[in-house]
Chains A and B, each alone.
Chain A
Amino acid sequence: MTTVHFVPSMLAALLAHADDDPAALDGARAHLRRIVCSGEELPRPLALRCIQALPSAQLHNLYGPTEAAIDVSAWHCHPDALATVASVPIGRPIQNIDLHVVDRRGRPQPVGVPGELCIAGAGLGDGYLGRPGLTAQRFPPDPYGPAGTRLYRTGDRAALRPDGTLTYLGRLDDQVKLRGVRIELGEIEAALRERPDVAEAVVALREDSPGDQRLVAYAVPAPGTSPDPVRLRERLRDTLPEQLIPASVVLLDQLPLSPSGKVDRRALPAPVRTPVTDGPAPATPAEELIAAVFGQILDTTGVGRDDSFFDLGGHSLLAVQVVAKLRRPLAEAGWAAVSVMDLFRLPTVAGLAEHTTRDTADHGPARLLHELRPARATAGAHLASVVCVPYGGGSAVVYQPLAEALASHHRLFSLALPGHDLGTEEQARPMAEVVPAVVAEIAAHVPGPVIVYGHCGVGSAYAMAIALGLQAAGRPPAAVYIGAMFPFARPKGRLLGLLTRLADRERLLGDRVFASWLTGMGVDLSGLEPAEVGAVIKAMRRDSVEAEDFYTDLFAGTPPRLDAAVISIVGDRDPATDLYRERYREWHAFSDHTAVVALDEGGHYFINHRAAEVAQIITTIHPALLAGGLQAEPDPNPSAGTWHVRGVSATTTVDLNLTDPTGDESPTGPHDEPDGIGPAAPKADQPGNRPTTPAPSMGRFAVVALSQLVSITGSALTEFAVPLWLYTQTGSLVGFALMATLGLVPGLLVLPLAGAIVDRSDRRRVMLLADCAAGGTQAAMLALLAFGRLDTTAVYIMIALLSVALAFQRLAYASAVPQLVPKRYLGHANGLVQMSGGLAQLVVPVVAVAALAWFGIAGILIADVLSYAFSIGVLLLMRFPATLAHSRRESIAAEIRHGLRYSLGRPGLRTMLLYFAGLNVFLSPLLLLLSPLAISQGDVATAGHVAVAAGGGALAGGLAVGVWGGPRTDRMRGMLRCAIALGACGALIGLRPSTAIIGTGAFGMLFLLAVVNGVYATIVQTKVPQRFHGRVFALNTLVAWSTIPLGFAVIAPAATGAAERWMAPGGALADTVGVLLGVGEGRGIALTYLVFGLCIAAFSAAALRHRVLAHFDRNTPDAEPDDLVGLAELQRLTATPAEQHADPSAGPGAERTPCSTT
């Protein structure tokens, strides 16, 4: 035999014989002239061994799939050539074959850039027998070849080398994603094979316990060697970055092969969870405790005293669990607590044990700053140190990716706030104590120059405080970078301060709400116990308050100045830094130089996923700024790149207390609110240049808010009272239902148009026009009433017009709030608006009934017209600042459209949508008919009482779900159970002719409705990435409300019409159902309540058993972190313009978010 052709695995087997019996290959050595390998990758070490063992045989590496002439390329493994390559190339194409390396869009890749290998030419097979669709998929048209020819997509990755040969880089699906990081399994395999004591290697991503994904490497030792898997793993650190280090290395005698001789990955064994170390066992009680906890968390046994947590497969998330589990036992034993940072510094059992049993007096004061070192230490001249403060809820290690990205010339020190580590009982210390301590540590241990970085609320406050402290201590920082936040403060005036405190809903919000919000933002809490999560959130709240206090106090006086520039880094999709193009100048309160850099498609926690870009920014922007060469990039996207400078500003004078433009020169008096800086005037540095528009102020906002509250209450009064009045006049239920529909639907229909108009117009003008329209319709009604011409048709028309006007008014007002207030108070301002609106809703029914009784409909209309006169007057007198108002990112119509595409592609959301549509068909008549039922039971006053009960229920329900936060797990099932109870309450309402029962039922129904809505919001928050929330909510609102006309205008009147007849004395059901419900007027409505309530309960119970909804919580994965979605979107955006128009959220696959393709 002179020529052999087989797969490399067989070659390995053949050569292995020689290890056992050196003479086994004698025959081969004598006769073999050619060895041809194909079918699998030929590892370089194997090729070298073959040449060594069989020097007179030529070795050829062939490549090719069955679908194209079996082998399409070849490379002769000449010993000299082999010495110069890192992996065995697959060579050049054979005759009549062309090989192309293409990118994801099918375009050729340049030399050296990996892509998918495609084969063209005569050797292509016709296709897969009986599988035309698969054939079409694997054989696309060939755009480079003769007309009508095809390519074959191999699914292999390859790259073109300069000499025209090709390198094989593994399968395309050998790229996996682990914890958000893309990993090339082939890279790890190659690194292992380079070890002299490794003959073959394969790496797989395994999930042997659900939710716990780990990289496992399998290695076959080189003959004559017995490597230690733990040492092997350690040595990988020389060449591979941290994320690529496998959790464990498993030694195998041989790799399992499939019948065709290739490696059978499915047959790879699950790693046995014992560390393959023969190291000494734990010796002391402390070591035993720590080893036991390691073993528990890592699901392994036999942990030795020298084993490192991270070598055993641990990572930072598990580290938090270890530290939390150790807390109580260590405390009980009287040993020192262990923090996450301690575990990072001393990862071995012995090291940690020694630390914890050392007499606490020897510990020295706990350090606040911890240096985070990159895995691969590189030498380089020290340029600067970066001091980082983590975001609320994060620990110091969140900056590890940034440390890795900064690598060579920068050292990174991260602040571990006391009392934030789950391992320690250490108490939190106030900012006023911590900041000077940090400044002292920086003076002692951190080499300069110092760049300060803080992320989000807490991070930004501490960062500013530390920067100010450094300045005062004579060591001014080189720059201050603030991520994802602008100043936020509380208004300090007496009245406003009190009101804001009352309106501070955040205090009332339960922990679970925070937890859901955190999960929605992509912070991973899944590994923590409830108690641990509670501790994290408690710390978050405290930090938040402290941070706000910091800014509030600073802005109340004159903040000290920094020499350094303050530069904002924001994600352009982060709602927390909306309006960043204006707001970054708020940092002029601290510095003369500011700028803002926006990350494309970045979310709120971009520090976790965009560390490389942040590293670039914090090292290049401030030098450019100080050199005077930094400019904002013009819109729209001009340059390539994933982040852009969006604003640069310099000022030489800062006037915190802007003089009043109408001429009053007095600075702020004790009863005035200090105004914010007026960012409207771009030339604020020119002395004597008075801003021509007023500055935003809380006072201005308060006046406008009050006037709007008055007019909105007025129209709510009208909306409540007029239908009631008409009903009492006509007794027509159909008319009542029609009126309710006309009061709701026109406003809804006009909403998309209104949104678009408001966004493009002067908010004040729209508010004025809307107020005039609203007031005008009511004045018209009043006039018609006075002339006795107010008939039902006129009322219908007026109500419809009013609905449209109100839609405009509310939209314009809501988006104008940011324009009116100094934006650091924006959170509180919105809270005030919400609170006042909610109270008004509650108060209106009572007042309306009373007013109707005392003053009649005329009185109400007069009051309403007057309220609008007031608010119009205020608007006419008030000038709005020229600051930015709130604009929608996309139009309401687009939002709904995109929400539709997003939801329709996901069975869970789709089914939930259908459920809500059905629910609302039954529910809306029940909400509508409360007043008529109550009137039939008593009179208009009764209607008022029932309305108050309902309003109270809604308020209480909203509060309850806010405090409770909804069920922690199984939210969908919990929500459906509440809906069943809701149906029961609805049925209760109709059960007896008693006001008390009606009121109780109404309270319960609205209470449960608020809870259902609250839980639904949590579901969307946790299952949908943050940036798509608006779309999903917009669509769901549309679906829910679109069934209301059906319920109002069709079902309710029809049902009640017939039902009233049946329940009249002597009617069809008088003797049966009527015994329980009563007979007479209104009992038909009661029957409707009974039936529809039971329908709601039954429908919800059926939904509970529906396959998709019953398993929704389990089958729908939690939302991917917003920033990962952004990263995927970034990759899409580098596609051709035509493909950009494709909707990113209409992704492939049912339950997955759009990034499954990465």
Chain B
Amino acid sequence: MFDDVTTFQVVVNDEGQHSIWPANRDRPEGWHAEGFTGPRDRCLAHIDDVWTELTPVSARR
């Protein structure tokens, strides 16, 4: 999927889950821009740094 895309944006949903999406496409509903954009590997590396809690927000506690 998205094999030919070179620039991605880091996105987050309300559960605090991060993912990546092509930078020049509209984000699906429920996903917000985290702010970081760049090539695939850099985005994933950024997510490695900032996404600390994989448990969804609604499941925490």
Contact = CB atoms under 8 A, between A and B. Distances in A.
Contacts of A105: 1-2, 4
Interface in A126-159: 126-129, 131-137, 139-143, 146-150, 153
* Max chain A Cβ within 10 angstroms of own Cβ: one of B1, B29, B40: B1
8 contacts: A126-B59, A129-B54, A135-B54, A137-B20, A140-B2, A148-B15, A148-B31, A150-B19
B21 A141 contact: yes
Contacts of A704: none
Closest 10 CB pairs of A and B: A147-B30, A148-B30, A148-B13, A132-B51, A133-B48, A133-B44, A147-B29, A143-B28, A1138-B24, A1142-B6
Contacts of B47: 132-133, 136
A152 to B, nearest CB: 11
A126 B53 CA distance: 10
A843 interface: no
Interface string B9-45: 0110111011111101101111100000000100111
Contacts of A150: 13, 17, 19
Contact of B13 (A127, A133, A141, A1132): A141
A132 B29 contact: no
Contact of B54 (A104, A126, A143, A1135): A126
A135 B52 CA distance: 12
Given A133-B48, A148-B13, A148-B29, A141 B19 contact: yes
Contacts of A128: 54
A139 B1 contact: no
A116 interface: yes
A65 to B, nearest CB: 15
A1148 B3 CA distance: 10
Nearest to B56: A126
A732 to B, nearest CB: 50
A106 interface: yes
Nearest to A1138: B24
Nearest to B24: A1138
A713 to B, nearest CB: 48
A1143 B51 CA distance: 30
A142 B19 CA distance: 10
A427 interface: no
Given A141-B31, A147-B30, A104 B45 contact: no
B31 to A, nearest CB: 5
Contacts of A131: 48
A359 B31 CA distance: 81
Contacts of A207: none
Contacts of B15: 148
Interface of A: 102, 104-106, 116, 118, 126-129, 131-137, 139-143, 146-150, 153, 1131-1132, 1135, 1138-1139, 1142-1143, 1146, 1148, 1157
Nearest to B14: A148
A137 to B, nearest CB: 6
Nearest to B53: A132
* Max chain A Cβ within 10 angstroms of own Cβ: one of B4, B29, B31: B4
Given A132-B51, A136-B18, 11 more contacts: A104-B3, A126-B54, A128-B54, A129-B54, A132-B48, A135-B18, A137-B20, A139-B17, A141-B11, A141-B30, A148-B31
A1157 B10 CA distance: 22
Contacts of B20: 136-137, 140
B49 to A, nearest CB: 8
B28 A141 contact: yes
A104 B1 CA distance: 5
Contacts of B25: 1138
A1157 to B, nearest CB: 5
Contacts of B40: 137, 1148
A132 B18 contact: yes
Interface residues of B, number: 37
Nearest to B54: A127
B11 to A, nearest CB: 6
Contacts of A116: 1
A1139 B1 contact: no
Given A132-B48, A133-B48, A153-B1, A1139 B54 contact: no
B6 to A, nearest CB: 4
Contacts of B11: 141
A856 to B, nearest CB: 61
A1138 B13 CA distance: 25
A244 B20 CA distance: 37
Given A133-B48, A137-B44, A127 B17 contact: yes
Contacts of A137: 20, 40, 44
B7 A1142 contact: yes
Nearest to B15: A148
Nearest to B23: A1138
A106 B27 CA distance: 13
Contact of B27 (A129, A136, A141, A1143): A141
Contact of B4 (A127, A146, A147, A1135): A1135
Contacts of B30: 141, 146-149
Nearest to A1128: B4
Contact of A133 (B4, B45, B59): B45
A149 B30 CA distance: 8
Nearest to B43: A136
A105 B18 CA distance: 20
Given A102-B1, A132-B51, A148-B13, A1139 B29 contact: no
A127 B54 CA distance: 7
Contact of A139 (B2, B19, B24): B19
Contacts of B54: 126-129, 132, 135
Contacts of A140: 1-2, 19-21
Contact of A106 (B1, B14, B18, B44): B1
B12 to A, nearest CB: 9
A140 B25 CA distance: 14
A104 B4 CA distance: 8
A514 to B, nearest CB: 36
Nearest to B13: A148
Nearest to B1: A106
B19 A1157 contact: no
Contacts of A1132: 4
Nearest to B44: A133
B2 to A, nearest CB: 6
Contact of A1157 (B3, B7, B21, B29): B3
A136 B17 CA distance: 8
Contacts of A127: 17, 54
Nearest to B2: A106
B59 to A, nearest CB: 8
Contacts of B6: 1142-1143, 1146
A1138 B45 CA distance: 25
A722 to B, nearest CB: 50
Given A126-B56, A1138-B25, A136 B19 contact: yes
Nearest to B45: A133
Given A104-B4, A132-B54, A140-B19, A1139 B24 contact: yes
A545 B45 CA distance: 58
A118 B17 contact: no
B51 A136 contact: yes
Nearest to B21: A141
A1125 to B, nearest CB: 15
B28 to A, nearest CB: 4
A889 to B, nearest CB: 22
Nearest to A125: B54
* Max chain B Cβ within 10 angstroms of own Cβ: one of A134, A139, A149: A149
Nearest to A128: B54
A128 B17 CA distance: 12
A141 B7 CA distance: 16
A118 B51 contact: no
A67 to B, nearest CB: 13
A119 to B, nearest CB: 12
Contacts of A153: 1
A890 to B, nearest CB: 19
B46 to A, nearest CB: 8
